[in-house]
Amino acid sequence: MSKIPVILIFDVGKTNKKLLLFDQQYGLVHEESKKLDETKDEDGFSCEDVTKLTDWVKNSFSKLLSDERFDIKAVNFSAYGASFVYLDDKGEVLLPLYNYLKPYPKKLQEQFYKTY
């Protein structure tokens, strides 16, 4: 049996994380969904657990690479919000993946607008 050439998409949503495989005609051939528990930032505000998210992506990718049904030709990511993670010079995560819904402190906001 020959492997199906596929494009792998990691769709990182706020609530659910999805793994999608599309064939060369862009038909969906495989889908998985995962809900990951959030963590809290230093202020107690809910945020994405970067470690769990990273582990899910790596483990899912590794599992698919060894799946005899699929031949991964390309990988892409889609994600929610304007999210980013601070990394150190070794590529290690320094701070949480802050939730874009986290309120910005009023005093800092006023200072920012006054300055800029």
The DSSP result for 18-78, as a single string, is EEEEE-TT--EEEEEEE----EE-TTS-EEB-HHHHHHHHHHHHHHHHT-TTEEEEEEEEE
Provide the residue ranges of all domains of the chain, joining segments of one domain with +.
4-115
pTM for the structure as a whole? 0.85
- pLDDT higher than 90, residue 114: yes
For the chain, percent of residues with pLDDT exceeding 90: 79
pLDDT the model gives residue 7: 98
* pLDDT (tens digit per residue) in 49-88: 999 999 999 999 999 999 999 999 999 999 887 777 889 9
- pLDDT for res 26: 95
Look up the CATH number of domain 4-115: 3.30.420.40
